Amino acid sequence: MSETTTTYRAEGGDEGAVSRFVERFAAELTEAGMQRMAARVFAALLASESASMTSAELGDRLRISPAAVSGAIRYLSQVGMVSRERDPGSRRDRYVLHDEVWYESLTRRDAILTRWEKVLRDGSEILGADTAAGRRTAETAAFFEFLQKEMLTMLDRWRDHKAATAAEEPKA
């Protein structure tokens, strides 16, 4: 059995269902604004048992070219969703989905929101509090400030929830 045939592991062995899931989730990510190939590669890594694949495995699994894999990996690496590791005993690179990828992604968004809020507050001062543009810009800054506070609270609650859930799971 080749490496790529054991990449996905589905309940009942239905690899076709897993492939359909990968494409369906990738379509949702694309609809939300992620690049199409990056979305497909991300979904494939997410659905793989080891959360890692080589370029060849990704190309075979998704039926895409090495160049398409490379471009997708470059994008996913830039946004901090995957990393590159050397395949042990080989010259091949293995692409690995980060642990807690969504948590980390939202944490990075927090830094972006902070920068946007600062620029918007500066813009509001420049535009003037007595102008429609200044009020609109100030309201946008206030929204980002609110969103940031709520997101940090939510991420803390997620950590607590995850720890409590892990404590309840039976040990293998």
Question: Could you read off the pLDDT of 4-42 as tens digits, one per residue?
Answer: 444 566 555 678 899 999 999 999 999 999 999 999 999
In the predicted model, residues of the chain with pLDDT beneath 50 are 1-6
Give the per-residue pLDDT at 107.
Answer: 76
Residue pair 111/89 in contact (Cβ under 8 Å)? The answer is no
Strands (E), 13-61: 52-54
Q: Describe the crossing of helices 36-47 and 66-78 by its angle, rounded to 10 degrees.
A: 80
Q: How far is Cα 118 from Cα 137, in angstroms, rounded to an integer?
A: 11
Quote the CA–CA distance of 94 and 91 in Å, as a whole number: 10
Please tell me the predicted confidence (pLDDT) of residue 1.
36
Q: What pLDDT is recorded for position 4?
A: 41
pLDDT at res. 6: 42
Q: What is the pLDDT of residue 53?
A: 95
- pLDDT, residue 26, reads 96
CB 144 within 8 A of CB 113: yes
Q: Which amino acid is at 138?
A: A
Helix (H, G, I), strand (E, B) or coil at 42: helix
CA 118 – CA 124 distance, rounded (Å): 10
- Alpha-carbon distance of 159 to 149, in angstroms, equals 16
Q: 74-89 burial string, b = 16+ CB within 10 Å, else e?
A: ebbeeeebbeeeeeee
Q: What is the reported pLDDT for 3?
A: 42
Are 148 and 114 in contact by the 8 Å Cβ rule? The answer is yes
* pLDDT score for 90: 81
At 55 the pLDDT is 94
At 100 the pLDDT is: 82
Residues 6+ apart with CB under 8 A from 133: 127
Q: pTM of the full predicted structure?
A: 0.74
